[in-house]
Amino acid sequence: MAAKQDTDNSTSINKFISDTGYCSRREADKLIVAGRVQINNRNARLGDRVKLSDTVVVDGSIMKAPKKEKLVYLALNKPIGITTTTEQHVRGNIIDFVNFPKRIFPIGRLDKDSEGLIFLTNDGDIVNKILRAGNKHEKEYIVRVNKPIDTAFIQKMSGGLTIMNERTLPCKVSATGRQTFRIILTQGLNRQIRRMCESLDYAVTSLQRVRIMNIKLDKLASGKWRYLSEPEITTLLDSVEASEANEQHVVKSSTPKTKKAELPDPKKEKLTVQKKPAPKPVDPGKKPKKSSFKEYRRNKR
């Protein structure tokens, strides 16, 4: 087991697990937090790094050194009833359903009661880039609800709604029928579209994702998958790299510069002279106390 990644021949534990094709980095982090990953017979911690001599075990299975195998990118038209999880003990999980000969994992989620386009891959580096909300990658859906929609519904959905104590981002919404509409999101909150509709007293009766970024579902039959074409992969990778670079530029340019502390200029500072308070008048006919005789004589002068 091992990986030669950095100059010290070590790699982060979540990247190592991801590179084996076991799961994405995000899922690897969850496994680590849950105590299901061990390095040399001790529980792994987030941020740990592993070297050639280390042994990594996930759920009792030793992780073999990742090989530079060909990266695969699949598009699946997920049917209703399939659960988007890599946990193969879950009945109807997406991994068993696809039954791909290499270990792959889904990018993002699609509810069990929803259908449509979802990606699967063994490229652990691309997952977070696609899912990161700041990159504003579009996902398009066709939705049917339980009663007729109107202009007010479209305006409220597109303007943003509060669900789970969070305001959804503005999005593109257009009616496609009496009870159907098209919606394009750039974020992916848990069951977001369903919760948005519920907040307006509507219930979703069907939901299909038809596009992710530049990849369209088109005529791919329900339950079938296909390889992404070379042009699709090139555009996809270019898009995530461009958005990644742009996000880093925004973060860097928005970081406020630390101002040097300004020292006072003695030439500009006005010296403040404190005047002594005027002495209190003393009654000449009154004999001063011994303890204050010196002060008495000073005041008399």
Q: CA 164 from chain center: how many Å? A: 17
Low-confidence stretches of the chain (pLDDT < 70) are 1-8, 66-68, 133-135, 242-301
pLDDT at 68: 65
Q: How far is CA 169 from CA 141, 153, 165, 216, in A?
A: 16, 16, 13, 23
Where, residue-wise, is CATH 3.30.70.1560 in the chain?
138-212
pLDDT, one tens digit per residue, over 177-199 is 999 999 999 988 899 999 999 99
Q: Which class does domain 138-212 fall in?
A: alpha beta
Max Cα separation, the chain?
117
Domain formed by 69-122+221-249, architecture? 2-Layer Sandwich (3.30)
CA 296 – CA 248 distance, rounded (Å):
77
- Active centre residues (catalytic): 111
| Reported pTM | 0.64
d(CA 209, CA 115): 7
- CATH 3.30.70.580 range(s) for the chain read 69-122+221-249
**What span, in angstroms and rounded, lies between the C-alpha atoms of 53 and 57?**
13
CB 8 within 8 A of CB 31: no
Q: Is 282 left (phi over 0), alpha (psi -120 to 50) or beta?
A: beta
User: What is the topology classification, in CATH, of domain 11-62?
Assistant: 3.10.290
Which pLDDT tens digit goes with each residue over 125-148? 788 778 775 667 899 999 999 999
Q: What is the pLDDT of residue 276?
A: 52
pLDDT at 297: 53
